[in-house]
Amino acid sequence: MRMVDVIRKKRDGQELTKDEIDFFIKGYVEGQIPDYQVSALLMAIFYKGMNDRETADLTFAIRDSGERLDFSNVNGIRVDKHSTGGVGDKTSLVVAPIVASLGVKVAKMSGRGLGHTGGTIDKLEAIPGFNTEIEEKKFIDIVNDIGICIVGQSKELAPADKKLYALRDVTSTVDSLPLIVSSIMGKKLAADDDCIVLDVKSGSGALCKTVEESKKLAKSMVDIGNRAGKAMRALITDMDRPLGNAIGNSLEVIEAVKTLKGEGPKDLEDLCVILATNMLSLAKVGTYDECKLKVKEAIANGSAFDTFVKMVEAQGGDSSFIKDVSKFSVAPYTKEVKADKEGFICQVDTEKYGMASVILGAGRNRKEDNIDYSAGIMLNKKTGDYVYPGDVIATLYTSNESSLAEANNMLLLSTKICKEPPIVRPLVLGIVQ
């Protein structure tokens, strides 16, 4: 088989066989097929797409490109939640301890920030001492012991995705449905969970800007998960506005801790309750309403917060920061972003809000960049709020004073103020199962 023929076939809009897909993934991981040929194939896939069978074969080839985890030594049912990426999305930090405190195991592999979106691993590493690289046996022991452990993806898990993702990032081929589906599900299926709840974000801060696109993505991921024998459910959720009020790593940890104690912003708490309830009901812990009650109790009686503290301690983190969040250091430079006219905040470009937080130091421009954990944005006003000139819309935090002006302008340009109140979308825009 020759790679040039595989590229030509897809360029001409034909369907690739399983053998052709396996050939290109294996050859790429083993270094026999160069980046330039894979780039050409990715662009052909971007334009010509893939049918369901090809997408499933690509997913399984990515899953099988490296080691697969074996969670058979975990006692009890394992459930995972995966978000397609958003701004201010710290739900994993809240829902995973809630679910674990109710007896369902969360053996979770998470990612780092990507472009304008944040990542759970970067957020957890904002807690001093927190270790996200734990070998498999210890990982399983922690899950058996306290019900939860969250680590980064090991080098051996789905290595094809690592190489492909880096190439997609620099060849403008990230936002292709079969490539997103196979990337996310290839990794998820290499882990060994029984149930997966997908949080497919939709809107200006998400990979998919429209609900139709998000539903298509959700349906494809659910179908592939089902084919692999997993119980699957996908929620399409709003990302036309940031989630909660905090964007940036330690700011988000603080907000997650408040939410675990029942003191978080309403949109974040509501979405966490919905996601945790879906994880429990998919794991057949009870009816939807029974699960929802349990989730609310776990927040109210402190057991979800206690589980988070135990996880931090088991993973080497300093839990005194969680018990007293004022210990997190505050960035040395701050700036208030002020409204320049009167009216309702009717629309925000959420992706730009995420980019502004990256400019402040909360994310990376290049893979090797260091993160400023204290950098980010606290929102005082959100879509639907009424503002007067001079009202503070947000406060910026950074260790790099020169980034403040650019982030300030970006936020102002991305915040539309109108005379009429906007229609604020519900948090959940659809369910696919």
For the chain, the residue count is 433
Residue number, 60 or 305, with CB nearest to ligand URA: 60
Stretch that binds ligand URA, among 118-126, 180-188, 212-220, 374-382 (CB under 6 A): 180-188
Query: For residues 20 and 255, what is the distance between their CA atoms, to the nearest angstrom?
Result: 47
Instruction: Write out the two tokens for 223.
Output: 């179908």
Beta carbon of residue 168, minimum distance to ligand URA (angstroms, whole number) = 7
Name 254's bridge partners.
Answer: none
Residues in 335-374 at the binding interface with ligand URA, rule: CB under 6 A: none
Residue that is written with structure tokens 């739900």 in the block? 91
How many residues make contact with ligand URA (CB under 6 A)?
8
Q: List strand residue ranges (DSSP E) for 61-162, in order.
A: 79-83, 106-110, 148-152
Beta carbon of residue 166, minimum distance to ligand URA (angstroms, whole number) = 11
The SS3 of residue 418 is: strand
Stretch that binds ligand URA, among 179-187, 264-272, 280-288, 389-397 (CB under 6 A): 179-187
Beta carbon of residue 42, minimum distance to ligand URA (angstroms, whole number) = 11
Taking CB under 6 A as the criterion, the residue among 45, 184, 200, 247 binding ligand URA is 184
Residues in 195-214 at the binding interface with ligand URA, rule: CB under 6 A: 207
Query: How many beta carbons lie within 10 A of that of residue 132, not counting itself?
Result: 20
* Helix (H), strand (E) at residue 232: strand 231-238
Instruction: Write out the two tokens for 84.
Output: 């397609």
Residue number, 113 or 248, with CB nearest to ligand URA: 113
Residue number, 93 or 404, with CB nearest to ligand URA: 93
- List Cβ neighbours of 365 (8 Å cut-off, separation of 6 or more): 358
Residue number, 82 or 382, with CB nearest to ligand URA: 82
- The answer to whether 85 contacts ligand URA (rule: CB under 6 A) is yes
Query: For residues 428 and 195, what is the distance between their CA atoms, to the nearest angstrom?
Result: 20
- The answer to whether 84 contacts ligand URA (rule: CB under 6 A) is yes
Contact call for residues 164 and 29 (beta carbons, < 8 A): no
Residues with catalytic annotation?
82, 161, 168, 183, 187
Contact call for residues 374 and 395 (beta carbons, < 8 A): no
Residue number, 69 or 174, with CB nearest to ligand URA: 174
Task: Name which of 332, 326, 352, 187 is nearest 254 in CA terms.
Answer: 326
Beta carbon of residue 83, minimum distance to ligand URA (angstroms, whole number) = 9
- The answer to whether 38 contacts ligand URA (rule: CB under 6 A) is no
Name 202's bridge partners.
Answer: 208, 238
Residue that is written with structure tokens 């405190």 in the block? 101
Residue number, 174 or 346, with CB nearest to ligand URA: 174
Taking CB under 6 A as the criterion, the residue among 55, 183, 350, 398 binding ligand URA is 183
Taking CB under 6 A as the criterion, the residue among 33, 42, 180, 387 binding ligand URA is 180
Instruction: Write out the two tokens for 250.
Output: 């330690």
Instruction: Write out the two tokens for 335.
Output: 């700036």
Beta carbon of residue 157, minimum distance to ligand URA (angstroms, whole number) = 12
DSSP state of 240: S
State the DSSP string of 30-66: TT-S-HHHHHHHHHHHHHH---HHHHHHHHHHHHTTS
- The answer to whether 92 contacts ligand URA (rule: CB under 6 A) is no
Beta carbon of residue 181, minimum distance to ligand URA (angstroms, whole number) = 8
Instruction: Write out the two tokens for 287.
Output: 């009816």
Residue number, 42 or 339, with CB nearest to ligand URA: 42
Query: For residues 100 and 107, what is the distance between their CA atoms, to the nearest angstrom?
Result: 10
Residue number, 168 or 294, with CB nearest to ligand URA: 168
Beta carbon of residue 198, minimum distance to ligand URA (angstroms, whole number) = 11
Q: List strand residue ranges (DSSP E) for 153-211, in order.
A: 195-202
- The answer to whether 237 contacts ligand URA (rule: CB under 6 A) is no
Beta carbon of residue 341, minimum distance to ligand URA (angstroms, whole number) = 36
Residue nearest ligand URA, Cβ-based = 183
Residues in 149-178 at the binding interface with ligand URA, rule: CB under 6 A: 174
**Phi and psi for 282 in degrees, rounded to 5?**
-65, -30
Query: For residues 271 and 199, what is the distance between their CA atoms, to the nearest angstrom?
Result: 10
What residue ranges bind ligand URA (CB under 6 A)? 84-85, 174, 179-180, 183-184, 207
